[in-house]
Amino acid sequence: MTVRSLVRRCLAGAALLGGVVTVPVVLVLVAGWPLPTRMPDWARVATAFRQGDLPAAAVVKALACLVWVCWAQFAAAVVWEFIAQMRHPHDPPAQHQPPLVARSVHRKVGRMVAFVLSAGVAVATTPTPTLVQRHLGVAAAAAAPSPAPVATPHEASSSGQAVWVVAKGDAVWDIARIALGDGGRSTEILELNPTVVPRRLPIGARLVLPTDAVVPADRRAPSAAPAPVARTTAPAPDSAHVIYLPADTITVEVGDNLWTLAASRLDAADGPDRQPAGAEIAGYLTETIDANTIPSGNPSLIHPGERYTFPAIGTPPQADTTAVPTVVPSSEQPSADLPPSESPTTAATQPAAVPAPTPVMTTVNMSTATSTAPGSPASGSAPAPASVTDDADNSVVGEVIAGLSGAVVLAGGLLVAYRRRRQHASRLGTAVLHRPLPKRQHQIVDELVRSADVPLVRWANHELAVLMARLAPSDVSGTPLAMELSADHGIELLWDTPQAVAPAPWEAADGGWAWRLLYDPDHQIPNEPAIAPLAGMVSIGTRDGNQLLLNLEAFGTVALTGDSARAENLARAMVLELGSSAQLATATCSVVGLAVEADEHLWRVEHTTAEQAARQLTAQQTGYRKLLHDSGLPTAFHTRLGDPFDREVHVVVLDTEASTLVDSEFIEPNLGAALVMLGDPTGVATSIRVADDGSAVLEPLGVAFTAAGVSLTDASDIAELLDEVDSPAIGFDSDHELPDVFALPAPAEDDQLGETAEFDDEPAGNPSFVVRLLGRPRIDGVAELGPLEISIITFLACNGGSATPEQVIDAVWNGRLIERGTFLNRLTKTRRAAPGVLQSRSSGTRRLALGPGVTTDLELLERAFRNAAHASTGEAIEHLRAGLAYVDGVPFDSPNLDWPHNQQHHAHASTLIEHAALMLVDLALDIGDIATARFACQQGLIGLPLNEPLYCARMRVEAAAGHPNGIREAYRDLVRGLSGLDEGLGTYQPDPNTSRLYEQLLTASKLRPTG
């Protein structure tokens, strides 16, 4: 037992003792007997209340009665839990609370009692991979060219420690009692197996025991080296351990649940030396649930006596249909060149290897309009996506997958850049949003969506900004060197010197060398990203499934060595990430010699000469030296603490030839600049050696990882994608003729249900819930839902009100594999926070459906728009005013949502806003209603900022009102808005048609007679 565990358990025991014993003693000493010893005079009591003259003793005794009641609940819960856990302290707390005890008290006391009795030792902390393994300056990991898997205690069992193979019904206390002779030594078992959850010992798991353990024969592991408790890869197809298990019907017994039953069958199928991974169990459990009707409707709630059919596992052996070979005469026997073991007879009768079962849960291409399970027809009533032309290269984009999978920040940055430029292109009219992409570019967008994790990166940027804003320069003495980031483990920040105290909720680890924070996907993040405090942080690859990022400013100089092509790919990825992403870093980048291609669309990146780059570095560091001298602070990093002021880092990237022209020795670390050099220059602070297979080592930390990289071919493909967005958009007539209202994208036919989602001209009563899509997605009157729950409801609403679980997962989680329990928990949370929004699934159907009376503001606007087309002018104006009133922002205004863009919902909503606003302007001007026409322009521009057809309409409205200054103000607003798209570089200017209309209206207003 560690000192930390002992201290924590002592504190928990003291709390229990204090609550059970100390509280009654204090109450007796302070208040004595708290209840009245005789009947009070109620008239005097009433008078005392009216006059506010309550005796102090009465108040004290009343409070004492309240404390006695609380103590009684606490004591009852403690006794209840001790009885429940005395024999098996590693079993979970009691399922039900004792009588008259609040559930919250029961749960907290249960955890405390479990901890005191050793149940909480292994679950108190979540094991996470550490970036710091040794003191700075010593190799932190083996310097092998490829990262080796982290050894687990189970793999170390060959050193003489005994191994216990868990069977059904085993508990840690029982294992310690049988193998060690003392159940109290269960703590030793838990410390040797930190990844094991004692309350849910999986059948077949291997527990490493102390060397003096005696393991019974029926619990001993095979003589071969034991496998880890959990494996992360599926068994090989030719695994000799995988057998065929036919379908079976199992009767539920007390203590059973579907997860453990599914795990037991998989464990029996893949042999004694393997244990099914969580993803395999989840996939098989999904098959099982789909094959059964669960009486309770909840897979987690089954009862003894119920019978469930479990599907077959594996492939049944094929019957041998090969004809028996004819016995040939001796003169025709096989020649001596054919080994006896491969004679025709034996070859014909050799059974084929049975392939291993594969996980059921699969990912689906996000380019489809509505993601479906493999083999099932598309369904839903979402607008169809823009068609994909076949005039481009049809080859699959393979290298983009490999390059972007090692750089989540890069993929997210490129995706956001693409979305942003697409919105900029739509300023001339929303018709451009429906323009189809060539097939290859459509594949690239699809790969960007799958590789990116925008919510994770935004969360990390926000948490780092909050952390650094709370820190004063005197709070930390060091500088962050590197960072690991993943959805499973959150953030791990590596420091150059130990920082022993981390502000909550951060946790200092490894003696203060690292700070950690677990990922919270439900945390609300502002739409406007905070300024990144670690301005030089950039991705370099992945390690143990985590994104590995390096703070270039902290090192000053970085050399990329090894295989020249891989090193160039890594440098190119770093340039593209710094240029495209405003998350985690705020840097400008100068490139000398290295071909990048897509950087021409990224204003933070420029190509220059070696001499100019050297001057930029000198000027940047000179400015920071003066700032540090004036402020008295030690590093550029400390100037950003507690201050949201945007102080950028300038990064220069040199190719091999240019690296010989710039002296790296004058670059100081932590001074606002960094130099990345290809080749093997001398005098650099750190180096990354990349092998030809992509494995790499970061020195002097000695961290082995898999390097990120973008090849020149992939960069060219990305550049073509951005060129496609920037190509001339569909022009528009400044006078604007309203198109046919029925030319809007029609809802797609639901093939699975065999019906079309027809438009209902009249609403069927007032909706019970309105899902807001024309702005920030939300549900009116419901504030407790997190981003994932909102995304689920939003997707269902856009998919005709229903979808399969696979469709929802593919859309909301971008096709990533998640556990079924995670998905079910999100559905449960949604139903609790917003009763009636999401229906409970009925027996016999797998589709999720919204409740009756749930609609969207997009549907209400579309209904108003279509009704206006068939109404009189006055009625049409009322319809359009009511519909446009729902617009309070850009449609689907959430950076976490990709599927509205992939499935054309965003384009559909944008088109509807533009057409509805322009129709209302025309109708209002026809009857001289200037106020309504201005309202139409205002609402349209709220949903479509910088939409030039709407600015032209705004100028026409001001001209009709006889306000030349209003015309000028509208045009100036457009020019100012366009200049902000490229940081004032002048790339975006009003369309010539817009400028021509401005001059015509202004001239006409000057010629108009006054009075």
The pLDDT of residue 862 is: 92
- Cis amide linkage into residue 505, ω under 30° from 0: yes
The pLDDT of residue 986 is: 61
Residue 494 near residue 510 (C-beta atoms within 8 A)? no
Using the predicted structure, report yes or no on whether residue 676 has a pLDDT greater than 90. Answer: yes
Q: Letter for the amino acid at 512?
A: G
The pLDDT of residue 237 is: 36
Check residues 660 and 866 and name the one with the higher pLDDT: 866
3-state helix, strand, coil in the chain (%, to 5): 45, 10, 45
Q: How far apart are the first and last CA of the chain?
A: 94
Q: Which of 158-172, 300-314, 603-617, 735-749 has the lowest mean pLDDT?
A: 735-749
Using the predicted structure, report yes or no on whether residue 521 has a pLDDT greater than 90. Answer: no
Alpha-carbon distances of 76 from 9, 109, 436, 862, rounded to whole Å: 21, 10, 68, 60
Label residue 764 by pLDDT band (50, 70, 90). Answer: very low
Q: Which of 54-58, 418-422, 587-591 has the lowest mean pLDDT?
A: 54-58
Please name which of 943, 1011, 1009, 1005 lies closest in space to residue 971, comparing C-alpha atoms.
Answer: 1005
The pLDDT of residue 238 is: 38
Q: Which of 105-119, 363-377, 990-1004 has the lowest mean pLDDT?
A: 363-377
Label residue 332 by pLDDT band (50, 70, 90). Answer: very low
Check residues 542 and 816 and name the one with the higher pLDDT: 542
Residue 550 near residue 558 (C-beta atoms within 8 A)? yes
Q: In the predicted model, what is the mean pLDDT of residues 139-144?
A: 33
Q: Which of 439-448, 827-836, 875-884, 952-961 has the lowest mean pLDDT?
A: 439-448
The pLDDT of residue 337 is: 37
- Find tokens 């550029």 and name the residue: 636
Query: Which two three-digit tokens encode residue 495?
Result: 């420091």
Label residue 320 by pLDDT band (50, 70, 90). Answer: very low
Residues forming beta bridges with residue 587, ordered by sequence position: 649
H/E stretch holding 592 reads strand 587-592
Using the predicted structure, report yes or no on whether residue 452 has a pLDDT greater than 50. Answer: yes
The pLDDT of residue 233 is: 33
Most confident of 116-130, 366-380, 420-434, 801-815: 801-815
Using the predicted structure, report yes or no on whether residue 782 has a pLDDT greater than 80. Answer: yes
Angle between helices 278-290 and 258-269 (to 10 degrees): 110
Using the predicted structure, report yes or no on whether residue 424 has a pLDDT greater than 70. Answer: yes
Q: Which of 28-32, 360-364, 804-808 has the lowest mean pLDDT?
A: 360-364
Using the predicted structure, report yes or no on whether residue 200 has a pLDDT greater than 70. Answer: no
> Residue 655 — φ and ψ, nearest 5°?
-75, 180
Using the predicted structure, report yes or no on whether residue 220 has a pLDDT greater than 50. Answer: yes
**pLDDT tens, residue by residue, 634-650:** 998 988 888 766 678 89
The pLDDT of residue 759 is: 37
Query: Which two three-digit tokens encode residue 975?
Result: 């020019």
Check residues 82 and 1 and name the one with the higher pLDDT: 82
Q: What is the distance between the alpha carbons of residues 976 and 970, in angstroms, rounded to a whole number?
A: 10
**Contacts with 699 (C-beta within 8 Å, 6 or more apart), sequence order:** 686, 687, 688, 689
Residue 572 near residue 701 (C-beta atoms within 8 A)? no
Q: What is the distance between the alpha carbons of residues 802 and 299, in angstroms, rounded to a whole number?
A: 20
Label residue 350 by pLDDT band (50, 70, 90). Answer: very low
Label residue 442 by pLDDT band (50, 70, 90). Answer: confident
Residues forming beta bridges with residue 486, ordered by sequence position: 490
Q: What is the distance between the alpha carbons of residues 577 and 935, in angstroms, rounded to a whole number?
A: 41
Exposed / middle / buried, residue 77 (Cβ in 10 Å: 0-12, 13-18, 19+): buried
Q: Which of 428-442, 699-713, 768-782 has the lowest mean pLDDT?
A: 428-442
Label residue 738 by pLDDT band (50, 70, 90). Answer: very low
Most confident of 343-347, 439-443, 448-452: 448-452
Label residue 479 by pLDDT band (50, 70, 90). Answer: very high
Percent of the chain with pLDDT strictly greater than 70: 69
300: which DSSP letter?
A: T
- Find tokens 């606002």 and name the residue: 672
The pLDDT of residue 393 is: 42
Q: In the predicted model, what is the mean pLDDT of residues 131-157?
A: 37
Q: What is the distance between the alpha carbons of residues 493 and 505, in angstroms, rounded to a whole number?
A: 14
The pLDDT of residue 660 is: 81
Using the predicted structure, report yes or no on whether residue 81 has a pLDDT greater than 80. Answer: no
> Residue 158 — φ and ψ, nearest 5°?
-70, -5
Residue 773 near residue 799 (C-beta atoms within 8 A)? no
Q: In the predicted model, what is the mean pLDDT of residues 870-879?
A: 92
**pLDDT tens, residue by residue, 841-869:** 665 667 888 888 899 999 999 999 999 98
- Find tokens 């306000």 and name the residue: 963
The pLDDT of residue 939 is: 95
Most confident of 34-48, 494-508, 530-544, 776-790: 494-508
The secondary structure of 896-945, three-state, reads CCCHHHHCCHHHHHHHHHHHHHHHHHHHHHHCCCHHHHHHHHHHHHHHCC
Alpha-carbon distances of 712 from 269, 447, 901, rounded to whole Å: 46, 17, 27
The pLDDT of residue 938 is: 94
**pLDDT tens, residue by residue, 892-938:** 988 778 888 878 888 899 999 999 999 999 999 999 999 999 999 99
Label residue 548 by pLDDT band (50, 70, 90). Answer: very high
Label residue 808 by pLDDT band (50, 70, 90). Answer: confident
Percent of the chain with pLDDT strictly greater than 90: 19
The pLDDT of residue 485 is: 92
The pLDDT of residue 90 is: 43
Query: Which two three-digit tokens encode residue 522?
Result: 């439900």
CB atoms within 10 A of CB 963: 15
The pairing of strands 769-772 and 854-856 is: parallel
- Find tokens 């016995």 and name the residue: 327
Using the predicted structure, report yes or no on whether residue 609 has a pLDDT greater than 80. Answer: yes
Label residue 992 by pLDDT band (50, 70, 90). Answer: confident
Most confident of 294-308, 518-532, 714-728: 518-532
The pLDDT of residue 259 is: 76
Using the predicted structure, report yes or no on whether residue 218 has a pLDDT greater than 50. Answer: yes
Average pLDDT value for the chain: 74
The pLDDT of residue 921 is: 94
Q: Which of 519-523, 694-698, 968-972 has the lowest mean pLDDT?
A: 519-523
Q: Which of 116-120, 270-274, 656-660, 789-793 has the lowest mean pLDDT?
A: 116-120
H/E stretch holding 264 reads helix 258-269
